[in-house]
Structure 1
Amino acid sequence: MIKKIFALVLIALMSLLVASCGAKKSSGAGKIYKSSAKVSYYHNKFNGRKTASGEKFSNSKLTAAHRKLDFGTKVRLTNKINGKSVIVVINDRGPWIRGRELDISKKAFMEITDNKDKGILVVMIEIL
């Protein structure tokens, strides 16, 4: 009898754990890392070069460089002006220009900008 009660309690706890994990994933909300940060995009001359993580860089992928975030970290960038957002994966180190938080691939930049001629955006950064 005690084994049955223990098994039922264990099943109930596991169900709650699974349900809470599912709810968190479906909400889509991330932890705000910076509410306002400047980002720029990579020049095409970097295509094919190795990133700090060892991957080959491609401006046609959704990737980014950050000075400290772990490689493989997914972040959502939301343009503060138009509300468009994109999810990128950190795979490089940088940017090395003072005042910039991220260098992002050209594809990611073009997905969230309205002005294709401008090279810097102000975004909110969320860690997913």
Structure 2
Amino acid sequence: MKSVLLVCLLVICSLNLPAQLAPLQTIKGKASFYSDWFDGRLTANGEFFSQEEFTAAHMTFPFGTWLEVTNLDNQKSVFVRINDRGPYVKGRILDLSKAAAQALGDLKQGIFNVEIRVVNRLDILVLPLSISKTKKSVPLRQRSLYLDSNLISP
């Protein structure tokens, strides 16, 4: 009798499991883009940041999460990968690379009203080819400054 109740309880609990694991549908808010000063510096996940890649910073999404970001003013969309933490400005939900911000609209605007959606694995299979372009090398002066100040001890 106890085992039947236990099985029934497990079945009932497992019915609600897919609803609990369902990803957040969409989030609306403001997004900005990185300053050129960050180009070539290390991101929170250890990569060198590049303004030419389609990446973004978010406070809580796991590194490697792909997002579809839509500019609510002109309905342009872009896919970005989370590789950093931020933004650290109140009221903003996302920091975009310059390439991603350019794809969304005019850079003179600076801040975009956006809607973000976590991309499913099936969507990743059909990502546009433009996001898979080759990485630009990090400027040597920035790499050497990092290496000189952080890795080389006197």
**For this structure pair, what is the TM-score category when the shorter chain's length is used for normalisation?**
0.7 to 0.9
Q: Aligned partners of 1:84 and 1:108: how far apart in 2?
A: 11
What are structure 1's unaligned runs of at least 5 residues? 1-29
TM-score w.r.t. the length of structure 1 is 0.73
Q: Aligned partners of 2:36 and 2:65: how far apart in 1?
A: 23
CA RMSD of aligned residues (A): 1.2
TM-score w.r.t. the length of structure 2 is 0.61
Q: Name whichever structure is richer in strand by fraction.
A: 1
Residue 65 of structure 1 corresponds to which residue in structure 2?
57
Q: Aligned partners of 1:69 and 1:37: how far apart in 2?
A: 15
Residue 19 of structure 1 corresponds to which residue in structure 2?
none
What does 1:1-128 correspond to in 2, within 5 Å?
A: 32-34=25-27, 36-113=28-105, 115-128=106-119
Identity of aligned residues (%): 44
Give the match's secondary structure for 2:89: coil
Q: Name whichever structure is richer in helix by fraction.
A: 2
Residue 18 of structure 1 corresponds to which residue in structure 2?
none
Deviation of 1:33 (Å): 3.1
What are structure 2's unaligned runs of at least 5 residues? 1-22, 120-154
User: Partner letter of residue 116 of structure 2?
Assistant: I
Greater relative contact order (Cα 8 A, min sep 6): structure 1 or 2? 1
